[in-house]
């Protein structure tokens, strides 16, 4: 049982906590209410010393505000590190991130709620809808990201196992369980998943030359940093991560190619959303235009074009056009 005044040395800490957790613009406290809450914490407080304490907190940087309401003076914490709208944005990001498990999502959101008052935190809680979202089942991803950042900062290579799900919903190690060893250079958040972008030196043969590759972080297991310095510095010297991300479709790799597209005019917004405002648009008719983009040519890219319902057409180079024809033939054959 707490004795009145037995935590006097903690007075300023308790007072700061009371302002942060119990007050906001809509929920101020009077001086007697503040004194009562301090008393519950085992701290003595009187009117004169509280005035001095408030000034100390203001000097420290806390935005302690006050206003008269009738015969009472009300006090509350004004500006905070995060506004409620900013916290809602962060909560949405945590919820939508597939690479964060349900359990870790709830834990992070609970920590975000502590950055505002309890009453405003309840508005964040009402915003949270966890069910129905596809989330990763790899609980270790949270720590994997930290390991990868440390390896990048230490300029060393990493080794790990990489898995895929089989039809029995079991983890199945790729390469028959052999270790992957790559030089990590960047982390990329794309399509609600986290990816490591790194350099695989290969084995030096023409068939397996060194190249830039990416890996889903939630499918990486037993990540460990080595003492081997990273490779690929020349390849990453002028590497554009944003361009790399835009060129991929669903993060499926493929040979990057300059592809010409013809599209209906009402598809301009769709292409700008996908490739950015730097897209060069050449009007080819009253209701059509042409553009050229760098893409990793893959089945996913062809599927994206087909999903636009004939409003976007690949016109060059001929090798890519022929691959598109082949994709269409394969799909048509499945539905005969």
**pTM, whole model, 2 decimals?**
0.60
Answer with the residue of higher pLDDT: 136 or 277. Answer: 277
Query: CA 250 from chain center: how many Å?
Result: 16
Nearest Cα neighbor of 234 from 195, 199, 204 is 199
In three-state form (DSSP H/G/I as H, E/B as E, the rest C), the secondary structure along 105-140 is HHHHHHHHHCCCCHHHHHHHHHHCCCCCCCCCCCCC
| Residue whose pair of structure tokens reads 């830039």 in the numeric block | 212
Between the alpha carbon of residue 4 and those of residues 38, 45, 101, 181, the distances in Å are 10, 10, 44, 61
pLDDT at 211 over 90: no
Residue 60: pLDDT band with limits 50, 70, 90: very high
Spatial distance between the Cα atoms of 142 and 102, rounded to a whole number of angstroms: 12
Per-residue pLDDT, averaged over 110-127, amounts to 84
Between the alpha carbon of residue 201 and those of residues 216, 218, 227, 324, 332, the distances in Å are 19, 23, 16, 31, 39
Spatial distance between the Cα atoms of 32 and 75, rounded to a whole number of angstroms: 11
Answer with the residue of higher pLDDT: 8 or 135. Answer: 8
Q: How many CA atoms lie within 13 A of 270 on its CB side?
A: 15
Residue 204: pLDDT band with limits 50, 70, 90: low
Residue 59, Ramachandran bin (φ over 0: left; ψ between -120 and 50: alpha; else beta): alpha
Spatial distance between the Cα atoms of 210 and 208, rounded to a whole number of angstroms: 7
User: What is the residue-averaged pLDDT of the chain?
Assistant: 86
pLDDT at 140: 75
Residue 126: pLDDT band with limits 50, 70, 90: low
Determine phi and psi for 189, rounding to 5 degrees: -100, 115
Strand partners, 158: 182, 225
pLDDT at 74: 95
The SS3 assignment for 168 reads coil
pLDDT at 1: 46
Are residues 109 and 91 in contact, defined by beta-carbon separation less than 8 angstroms?
A: yes
Nearest Cα neighbor of 225 from 162, 150, 163 is 150
Centre a 10 Å sphere on the Cβ of residue 113 and count the other Cβ atoms it contains.
19
Q: What percent of the chain has pLDDT over 90?
A: 42
pLDDT at 55: 94
User: Which secondary structure element, helix H or strand E, spans residue 88, and what is its range?
Assistant: helix 84-96
- Among the residue ranges 52-56, 92-96, 126-130, 163-167, the one predicted with the least confidence is 126-130
Copy the structure tokens of residue 14.
């308790």
Q: Which residues contact 320 (CB under 8 A, 6 or more apart)?
A: 257, 259, 297, 314
pLDDT at 242: 78
Centre a 10 Å sphere on the Cβ of residue 66 and count the other Cβ atoms it contains.
12
Centre a 10 Å sphere on the Cβ of residue 145 and count the other Cβ atoms it contains.
18
Answer with the residue of higher pLDDT: 141 or 76. Answer: 76
pLDDT at 109 over 80: yes
Q: How many CA atoms lie within 13 A of 197 on its CB side?
A: 22
Centre a 10 Å sphere on the Cβ of residue 19 and count the other Cβ atoms it contains.
24
């Amino acid at each position: 049982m707490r004795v009145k005044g037995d935590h006097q040395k903690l007075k300023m800490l308790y007072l700061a906590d009371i302002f942060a957790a119990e007050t906001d613009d809509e929920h101020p406290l009077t001086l007697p209410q503040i004194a009562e809450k301090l008393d519950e914490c085992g701290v003595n407080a009187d009117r004169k010393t509280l005035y001095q304490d408030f000034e100390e907190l203001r000097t420290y940087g806390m935005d302690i505000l006050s206003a008269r309401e009738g015969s009472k003076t009300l006090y509350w914490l004004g500006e905070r590190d995060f506004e409620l709208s900013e916290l809602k944005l962060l909560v949405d990001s945590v919820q939508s991130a597939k690479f964060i498990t349900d359990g870790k999502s709830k834990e992070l959101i609970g920590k975000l709620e502590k950055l505002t008052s309890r009453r405003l935190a309840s508005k964040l809680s009402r915003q949270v809808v966890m069910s129905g979202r596809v989330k990763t089942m790899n609980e270790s991803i949270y720590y994997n990201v930290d390991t990868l950042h440390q390896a990048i900062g230490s300029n060393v290579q990493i080794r790990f196992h990489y898995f895929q799900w089989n039809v029995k919903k079991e983890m199945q190690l790729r390469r028959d369980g052999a270790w992957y060893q790559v030089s990590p250079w960047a982390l990329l958040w794309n399509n609600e998943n986290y990816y490591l972008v790194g350099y695989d030196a290969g084995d030096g043969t023409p068939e397996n030359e060194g190249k830039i590759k990416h890996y889903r972080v939630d499918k990486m297991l037993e990540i460990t940093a080595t003492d081997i310095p990273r490779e690929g510095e020349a390849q990453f010297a002028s590497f554009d991560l944003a361009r790399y991300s835009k060129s991929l479709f669903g993060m499926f790799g493929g040979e990057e190619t300059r592809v010409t597209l013809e599209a209906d005019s009402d598809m301009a917004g769709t292409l700008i959303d996908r490739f950015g405002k730097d897209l060069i648009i050449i009007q080819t008719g009253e209701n059509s235009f042409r553009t050229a983009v760098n893409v990793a040519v893959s089945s996913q890219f062809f599927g994206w074009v087909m999903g636009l319902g004939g409003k976007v057409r690949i016109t060059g180079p001929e090798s890519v056009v022929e691959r598109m024809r082949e994709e269409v033939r394969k799909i048509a054959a499945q539905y005969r």
